[in-house]
Chain A
Amino acid sequence: MKDEQQLLDKQQQKAGVSRRNFLKTVTGTAAGIGISQMFNPALVKALEKALETHPVIWIQGQGCTGCSVSLLNTAEPSIADVLLKVISLQFHPTVMASEGATALENMYKIAEAYKGKFSLAIEGAIPTAADGKYCIVGELHHKEITMVDVVKDLGAKAGSVLSIGTCAAYGGIPAAEGNVTGATGVMDFFKANGIKTPTVNLPGCPPHPDWIVGSIAHLLTKGVPELDENGRPVVFYGENIHDNCPRLEEYDAGELSGKLSDAKGCRMDLGCKGPDTYADCYKRKWNSSMNWCVDNAVCIGCVEPGFPDASSPFYEPA
């Protein structure tokens, strides 16, 4: 524990600038800036503690970085607050300053020092065909490291795993019919490799930033949230989209949209997969509540384990 503390202290206090001092000078002073109701004072305190003891390592496999980009869209708390106050993000290929061997060495060092404690966030699917060669995440000591290698290794060492996005949770598009890479989601991969680390699935193509931030905060402070049979937090994925859709009244009245640009009507005839989809998009909306798929076009069921094959053709009724 002492060693861990020292390791982080060293990293955070270079040139005499501690994390907290930096926060004061750059993002304001109060602890609560931009933090929504779910981030009450007790939780903020717990997060501050977790920041010191539970680093996050974020790795990417067969993905598009869309989940990371979605995380950047978090409104409350802001992404600056998330990066500086909520999580200690020790490895993230898109965001971190370092590259090459140093980045990987740091990742393995943190994983060892915080064994059984750190959270592993996985974005993208894991290609298991051709000895994992379809996704190389880096090289150390002149040896290629595949996504398969790193998920096996760090997956077993982590205290908890977050499968961020449908690719990581269930395979998603890389695992769709026609793929040749043996793409698989984390849950199946863990089963096949006897890894028993507690795992939370946060599907969505991409997942909503609130689902990611809320789940990370829960995981760091209170442990694994209540999950449904597909491993998703019930708090975010517990409700059926069609049953809760603001357009349900129109459906009940038999008003169905006839073409994609119709402003009114239930989208069922246009292929909307709301009836088969469980998520709270209907009330949370997207991008700081600007809009959501059903008001714009149709739901394509992107949070479901069968996406995309089970919900396509997207523009034909189920």
Chain B
Amino acid sequence: MAGCKPQASPAGAGKKIKVAIDPVTRIEGHLKVEVEVKDGVVADAKIFGGMFRGFEQILIGRDPRDATQITQRICGVCPTAHANASALALDDAFNVKLTDNGRIARNLILGANYLQSHILHFYHLAALDYVNGPDVAPFIPRYAKNDVRVPKDINDVAVGQYLEALEMRKICHEMVALLGGKMPHVQGVVVGGTTEIPTREALNAYAKRFKIVKKFVMEKYVPIVYLLAGPYGDLLKTGGGYKNCVSWGVFPMDNKGNTLLKRGVFTDGKDAKVDPALIKEYVKYSYFDNATTGLNPSKGQTKPDPNKKGAYSFIKAPRYNGRPHEGGPLARMWVTNPELSKIGQEKLGVKNLRDIGDAAFSILGRHVARAEETAMVADAVEQWLSEAKPGKETFVPAPIPNSAEGLGMTEAPRGALLHYVDIKDKKIANYQITSATIWNANPMDDMGQRGPMEQALIGVPVPDPENPVNVGRLIRSFDP
């Protein structure tokens, strides 16, 4: 079998070699990466977002309530996150306060999909960068020299877990469906709460499934991530990037704005409170009209220009306070800084996530943060299950306002998610979405700063440009 051939070509004089991977696979969507390798490491990087659908234009003129349904179709892996962001924006615009049971039901729907998404990501999207699948399609072809370093017995265990994880993520979706109707794309999350009041029977069915998933997370998923840190220890030292984090906060624990995963930003070594006014989206290198650059989402416009000279991505470049920031489990966990799981504390010899230090900002560090977050969400699901009240109202009806604005800020499994809605004459006049992967996979901004994923690629070792394994590893550590 021929090995994976990236499109490598010598670039003029010197020892610079250009390597392109297109498509980058085992992600959601269409992405290309191009890196320049010098002396065995990445010296420059570009990430190309290759697809545009135009949700923001499609939403204009529609019934605002339809946004929770339409926007879920942005991502089939994390539709519940878009449903929540949209519902939060509409809750704000409709000026409706949720019941406790409504808040908890939303958490149980979103929480089950967090478990699903993180399990899917580690095993089915990322793991084939570290272990070999069986020698049949779709597990072959693969890179001729794919740098798999685990011994055969561990590889077999991992492949067994890959198959078991397929079942686990399916069970997570059953949990979502019990309260959300079906999955992907739930019916249950709407402005004003959720549509189905949980019965004792439904909560028991959810709990029964959750127990199986939690056992898998604690006994298999979290341990195997730490197991990889042995043979792949060097991947804890590369892929750091800017080390800036955004987290809008997710899973409201009360009606006062306290969230399980905290809201905050971390910029150039300092923590700060979130001010939505400091978010701006730049488009100099994106296929959008230059006149729309540097706008806050509340003033945002989406005017595609697919033939724009100098542009290379359909992704806008959002910046917080003018600086690129990464989003996702690592950013949330860094901002929250919780105690690690028992296994994590044992393996790393530290107590809290930030005690890991700079190594957290690395290819493997992002996987560790994701696994630790999965354990943390699982603990919280247990709490919400005990708090959910069978038969108690989850939905507060509210009329469509004639004219109102709404802002919904939450977290998708893969990063910070913002929905903004402007309602006029009971219809959507403007809708802007700054989604998770847009924070990570964006191109250079007007000020000349690379996107976070591009920056994180700088310095990543590519000893063999014919088999640029670490490039894919870095990209997938962000779960785009």
Interface residues of B in 391-437 (CB under 8 A from A): 393-395, 397
Q: Is the CB of B7 within 8 A of A296?
A: no
B473 to chain A, nearest CB (A): 11
The 8 A CB mask of A138-165 against B (1 = contact, 0 = none) is 1111100000000000000000000000
**Contact status of A102 and B3, CB under 8 A, knowing A80-B166, A134-B51:** yes
A66-B79 contact in complex given A260-B190, A263-B197, A296-B180, C-beta closer than 8 Å: yes
Segment of A14-22, A38-46, A216-224, A231-239 in the binding face: A14-22
Partner of B51, one of A66, A90, A136, A291: A136
Q: Would you call A100 and B28 a contact (CB within 8 A)? A: no
* Nearest B residue (CB) for A296: B181
- CB of B63 within 8 A of CB of A314, answer yes
Given the complex of chains A and B, what is the CA–CA distance between A19 and B135 in angstroms? 8
Q: Given A64-B74, A96-B137, A287-B174, are A174 and B53 neighbors across the interface (CB < 8 Å)?
A: yes
CA A315 to CA B197, docked complex, whole Å: 18
Give CA–CA (A78, B165) in the complex, Å: 12
Asked if B30 CB lies within 8 Å of chain A CBs, one says yes
- Name the residue among B63, B160, B163, B187 with the largest chain A CB count within 10 angstroms: B187
**Which stretch of A5-13, A189-197, A247-255 is in the interface?**
A5-13
Q: A290, B174: Cβ atoms under 8 Å? A: yes
* CB atoms of A293 and B50 under 8 A apart: no
Instruction: Tell me whether A226 is interfacial, beta carbon within 8 Å.
Output: no
- Give the docked Cα–Cα distance between A89 and B141 (Å): 12
Q: How far is it, in angstroms, between the C-alpha of A300 and the C-alpha of B22 when the chains are bound? A: 36
Of all chain A residues, the one with the shortest Cβ separation from B102 is: A261
**In the complex, chain A residues whose CB is within 8 Å of the CB of B61:** 177-178
The chain A residue sitting closest to B140, CB to CB, is A11
Which of A17, A260, A291 meets B395, CB within 8 Å?
A: A260
Check if A17 sits within 8 Å of B135, measured CB to CB. yes
Q: Are B188 and A103 in contact (CB under 8 A)?
A: no
Residue B369 is within 8 A (CB to CB) of chain A in the complex? no
Please state if A293 and B187 are interface contacts (CB–CB under 8 Å): yes
* Contact (Cβ within 8 A) A315 B63: yes
Among B60, B61, B180, find the residue whose CB has the most chain A CB atoms closer than 10 A. B180
**Contacting residue for A297 out of B59, B60, B139, B196, CB 8 A:** B196
| Cβ-defined contact, A73 with B173, below 8 A | yes
**What sequence of 0s and 1s flags, for each residue 1-19 of chain B, a beta carbon within 8 Å of any chain A beta carbon?**
1111111010000000000
- Closest chain A CB from B393 CB (angstroms): 6
B65-73, B221-229, B441-449: which lies at the interface:
B65-73
Contact digits for B55-87, partner A, Cβ 8 Å, 1 yes 0 no: 101111111011001100111110100000000
In the complex, how many residues of chain B place their beta carbon closer than 8 angstroms to a beta carbon of chain A?
Answer: 97
Q: Does A108 contact B (CB under 8 A)?
A: no
- B177 touching A10 by the CB < 8 A rule? no
The CA of A205 and the CA of B73, in the complex, are separated in Å by 8
Q: Which residue of A lies closest to B6 (CB)?
A: A100
Residues of chain B within 8 A of A302, CB atoms compared? 185
At the interface, yes or no: B279 with Cβ under 8 Å from chain A? no
- Given the interface pairs A26-B159, A102-B5, the reply to whether A312 lies near B66 with Cβ below 8 Å is yes
A97 within 8 A of B: yes
Contact check, B58 vs A130: say whether CB atoms are below 8 A apart. Answer: no
Q: A15-B135, A296-B180 are in contact. Are A259 and B395 (CB under 8 A)?
A: yes
A135 vs B287: C-alpha distance in the bound complex, in angstroms?
A: 12
* Cross-chain contact of B76 among A64, A140, A286 (Cβ < 8 A): A64
Please determine whether B184 and A206 come into contact, CB atoms closer than 8 angstroms.
yes
Residue B22 contacts which of A138, A174, A261, A291 (CB distance < 8 angstroms)?
A: A138
Return the CB mask of B163-207 against A: 1 if under 8 Å, else 0. Answer: 100110110011011101111111110101111110000000100
A117 within 8 A of B: no
A133 at the interface (CB under 8 A from B): yes
Q: Of B28, B140, B178, which contacts A291 at CB under 8 A?
A: B178
Q: Which residues of A contact B318 (CB under 8 A)?
A: none
Q: A313 to B133: give the CA distance in the assembly, Å.
A: 46
Contact A178 B136 (CB under 8 A): no
Which B-chain residue is minimally distant from A74 (CB atoms)? B170
Contact across chains for B69 and A300 when beta carbons are under 8 A apart: yes
- The answer on a CB contact under 8 Å between A292 and B69 is no
Q: Please tell me if B24 contacts chain A, counting CB pairs below 8 Å.
A: yes
A88 / chain B contacts, CB cutoff of 8 Å: 136-137
Neighbour of B177 across the interface among A17, A141, A287, A297, CB < 8 A? A287
Tell me which residues across on chain A come within 8 A of B1, comparing CB atoms. Answer: 10-11, 14
Give the residue of B20, B59, B75, B393 whose beta carbon is less than 8 angstroms from that of A64.
B75
How many angstroms between the C-alpha atoms of A144 and B304 in the bound complex? 19
B134 within 8 A of A: yes
Q: Is the CB of A26 within 8 A of B170?
A: no
Is B381 positioned at the interface, with any CB of A under 8 Å from its CB?
no
Q: How far is the CA of A68 from the CA of B77 in the complex (A)?
A: 9
Cα–Cα distance between A62 and B55 once the two chains are bound (Å): 11
With CB as the reference atom, state the residue of chain A lying closest to B1. A14
- Please judge, given known A-B contacts A12-B135, A64-B75, A133-B306, whether A26 and B160 are in contact too, CB under 8 Å: yes
Additional 7 contacts, C-beta under 8 A, given A139-B7, A179-B54, A260-B190: A22-B134, A62-B51, A88-B136, A105-B5, A136-B51, A205-B73, A291-B178
The 7 closest A-B pairs by CB, nearest first: A66-B76, A296-B181, A286-B182, A136-B50, A313-B63, A287-B177, A102-B4
Q: List 18 A-B contacts (CB under 8 A).
A: A19-B134, A64-B184, A66-B79, A70-B76, A72-B169, A89-B138, A97-B139, A98-B140, A98-B142, A98-B143, A100-B5, A101-B6, A180-B57, A260-B195, A260-B395, A263-B197, A286-B183, A291-B181
Q: Which residues of A contact B (CB under 8 A)?
A: 10-15, 17, 19, 22, 26-27, 55, 60, 62-70, 72-73, 75, 78-80, 83-84, 88-106, 127, 130, 133-142, 172-174, 176-181, 183, 205-206, 259-261, 263, 286-288, 290-293, 295-298, 300, 302, 308, 312-316
Query: Which B residues are closer than 8 A to A by beta carbons?
Result: 1-7, 9, 20-30, 32, 48, 50-55, 57-63, 65-66, 69-70, 73-77, 79, 120, 124-125, 128, 133-143, 159-160, 163, 166-167, 169-170, 173-174, 176-178, 180-188, 190, 192-197, 205, 304, 306-307, 314, 393-395, 397, 472
